[in-house]
């Protein structure tokens, strides 16, 4: 009888442990998903996916802190009729810092993704192994009163301290104050680093 009681207690404890672990995992995944959805809606993220942007999901992204140079930067896909596939953009720089995998926060600064200087106001990260995706919400100003918010999504893989296979998607997610200066809300571009390897930079 004692053995039976002990077995039942152990079963209950083991069941409770795995139940709590499952709840914790769901909480972590939900926390990450909520942060991503605060930046870009599922609809607009799917727009970028449909252009071919790879999204690396997962709650254990690699350490991506660093400064990277992106050149040559080439348009791979677009939903904007006037765009020309293969057109070149200005060389871009990317600074990722203050990564925190416990809450999936990270900070992003860019050059020549949208403007001469891009600052993400809200940023999150996902990934697994050496693969990652950074999700940024960037405010782009045309005048003192005209501005729009863009989703800036960067995916790639960390190898030997730099990023390989880098892809960058931008999409206008809020053009309510754009004043006609920007691409239309929902319009998007996918650009890639055509030589597949980012430069490691010392300063931004």
Asked if 188 contacts 175 with a C-beta cutoff of 8 angstroms, the reply is: no
Q: Indicate the burial class of 5 (C-beta count within 10 angstroms; 0-12, 13-18, 19 or more).
A: exposed
* Residue-by-residue pLDDT tens, the chain, 204 positions: 545 444 444 444 444 444 444 445 569 999 999 999 999 999 999 999 999 999 999 999 999 999 999 999 999 999 999 999 999 999 999 999 999 999 999 999 999 999 999 999 999 999 999 999 999 999 999 999 999 999 999 999 999 999 999 999 999 999 999 999 999 999 999 999 999 999 999 998
Write down the domain spans for the chain: 42-200
Which residue, chain included where needed, has tokens 């999204």? 55
Q: How far apart are CA 106 and CA 109, in angstroms?
A: 10
**pLDDT of the residue at 10:** 41
- Provide the residue count of the chain: 204
Strands (E), the chain: 59-60, 66-70, 73-78, 88-89, 92-100, 105-111, 118-128, 131-141, 147-159, 162-174, 188-193, 199-200
Q: Which residues contact 97 (CB under 8 A, 6 or more apart)?
A: 65, 106, 107, 109
Determine if the pTM surpasses 0.85: yes
User: How far, in Å, CA of 55 to CA of 77, rounded?
Assistant: 15
Give the integer Cα–Cα distance in Å for 51 and 170.
11
Distance, C-alpha 4 to centroid of its chain: 52
């Amino acid at each position: 009888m004692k053995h039976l009681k002990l077995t039942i207690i152990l079963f209950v404890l083991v069941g409770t442990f795995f139940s709590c672990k499952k709840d914790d995992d769901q909480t972590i995944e939900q926390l990450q998903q909520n942060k991503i959805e605060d930046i870009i809606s599922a609809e607009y993220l799917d727009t970028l996916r449909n252009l071919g942007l790879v999204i690396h999901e997962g709650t254990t992204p690699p350490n991506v802190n660093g400064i990277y140079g992106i050149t040559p930067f080439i348009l791979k896909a677009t939903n904007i009729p006037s765009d020309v596939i293969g057109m070149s953009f200005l060389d871009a720089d990317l600074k990722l810092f203050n990564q925190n995998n416990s809450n999936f926060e990270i900070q992003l600064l860019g050059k020549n993704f949208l403007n001469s200087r891009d600052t993400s106001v809200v940023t999150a990260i996902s990934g697994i192994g050496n693969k990652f995706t950074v999700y940024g919400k960037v405010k782009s100003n045309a005048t003192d009163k005209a501005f729009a918010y863009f989703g800036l999504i960067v995916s790639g893989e960390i190898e030997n301290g730099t990023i390989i296979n880098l892809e960058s998607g931008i999409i206008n997610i809020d053009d309510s104050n754009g004043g006609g200066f920007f691409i239309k809300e929902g319009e998007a571009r996918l650009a890639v680093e055509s030589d597949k390897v980012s430069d490691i930079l010392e300063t931004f």
